[in-house]
Structure 1
Amino acid sequence: MSVPKQLVIAISSRALFNLDASHQVYINQGLEAYSQYQIEHEEELLEKGEAFPLVEKLLRLNEVLTDHRVEVILLSRNSADTGLRVFNSIEHYKLPISRAAFCGGEDPYRYITAFGCHLFLSTDPADVRLALREGVAAATLLASKKQKDPGAQLRFAFDGDAVLFSDESERIYKTQGLEAFAKNEKEAAKLPLTGGPFKPFLAALHSIQSEFEPGASPIRTALVTARSAPAHERVIRTLRAWNIRIDESLFLGGMTKASFLKAYGADVFFDDQQVHCSAASEHVATGHVPHGVANE
Structure 2
Amino acid sequence: MPEKLDDKLVIAISSRALFNLDESHQVFQNQGLQAYSDYQVAREEDPLEPGEAFPLVHKLLRLNTLSGTGQQVEVVLLSRNSADTGLRVFNSIEHYGLAINRAAFCGGESPWRYINAFGCQLFLSSEAEDVRNALECGVAAATLVSGGRQETGNEQLRFAFDGDAVLFSDEAERVYKSEGLEAFTASEKAAARQPLAGGPFKPFLSALQRLQQAFPASEAPIRTALVTARSAPAHERVIRTLRAWNIRIDESIFLGGLDKTEFLRAYQADVFFDDQQTHCESAREHIATGHVPHGVANS
C-alpha RMSD of the superposition: 1.3
| 1:215/1:144 CA distance change after superposition, 3 Å | farther
Deviation at residue 147 of structure 1 after TM alignment: 2.3
Structure 2 CA distance for aligned equivalents of residues 199 and 166 of structure 1: 9
Deviation at residue 64 of structure 1 after TM alignment: 1.7
| Structure 2 residue 171 is matched with structure 1 residue 168 | yes
Contact 1:146 1:282 in 2 (8 A): no
Aligned to 1:158: 161
| 1:145/1:87 CA distance change after superposition, 3 Å | closer
Aligned to 1:281: 284
Contact 1:146 1:283 in 2 (8 A): no
Structure 1 CA distance for aligned equivalents of residues 242 and 31 of structure 2: 50
Aligned to 1:97: 100
| Structure 2 residue 138 is matched with structure 1 residue 112 | no
Structure 1 CA distance for aligned equivalents of residues 133 and 96 of structure 2: 30
Aligned to 2:210: 207
Aligned match of 2:53 in 41, 51, 54?
51
Contact 1:258 1:282 in 2 (8 A): no
Query: Structure 2 counterpart of 1:112, which letter?
Result: I
Structure 1 CA distance for aligned equivalents of residues 285 and 81 of structure 2: 30
Query: Structure 2 counterpart of 1:37, which letter?
Result: Y
Query: Structure 2 counterpart of 1:291, which letter?
Result: H
Structure 2 CA distance for aligned equivalents of residues 201 and 67 of structure 1: 20
Deviation at residue 68 of structure 1 after TM alignment: 5.9
| Structure 2 residue 21 is matched with structure 1 residue 19 | yes
Structure 2 CA distance for aligned equivalents of residues 29 and 211 of structure 1: 50
Aligned residue runs from structure 1 range 215-230, under 5 A: 215-230=218-233
Q: Secondary structure at the match of 1:113?
A: coil
Structure 2 CA distance for aligned equivalents of residues 67 and 190 of structure 1: 40
Aligned to 1:40: 42
Q: Secondary structure at the match of 1:8?
A: strand
Contact 1:4 1:68 in 2 (8 A): no
Instruction: Decide which moves more: 186-195 or 29-38.
Output: 29-38
* Superposed CA offset, 1:189-212 (max 9, x none): 000000000000000000111223
Question: Mind listing any 5+ residue stretches in structure 1 that lack a counterpart?
Answer: none
- How many residue pairs match? The answer is 294
Structure 2 CA distance for aligned equivalents of residues 146 and 124 of structure 1: 17
Deviation at residue 4 of structure 1 after TM alignment: 8.2
Aligned to 1:246: 249
Q: Secondary structure at the match of 1:183?
A: helix
Instruction: Decide which moves more: 202-211 or 141-150.
Output: 141-150
Aligned to 1:61: 63
- State TM-score, norm by structure 1: 0.97
| 1:68/1:89 CA distance change after superposition, 3 Å | closer
| 1:44/1:145 CA distance change after superposition, 3 Å | closer
Structure 1 CA distance for aligned equivalents of residues 146 and 272 of structure 2: 13
- State TM-score, norm by structure 2: 0.96
Instruction: Decide which moves more: 44-53 or 149-158.
Output: 149-158
Q: Secondary structure at the match of 1:11?
A: strand
Question: Mind listing any 5+ residue stretches in structure 2 that lack a counterpart?
Answer: none
Aligned match of 2:136 in 123, 133, 146?
133
Aligned to 2:192: 189
Aligned to 1:74: 77
Deviation at residue 167 of structure 1 after TM alignment: 0.3
Aligned to 1:231: 234
Structure 2 CA distance for aligned equivalents of residues 251 and 43 of structure 1: 48
Structure 2 CA distance for aligned equivalents of residues 148 and 91 of structure 1: 21
Deviation at residue 146 of structure 1 after TM alignment: 6.6
Query: Structure 2 counterpart of 1:40, which letter?
Result: A
Percent of residue pairs bearing the same amino acid type? 72
Query: Structure 2 counterpart of 1:206, which letter?
Result: Q
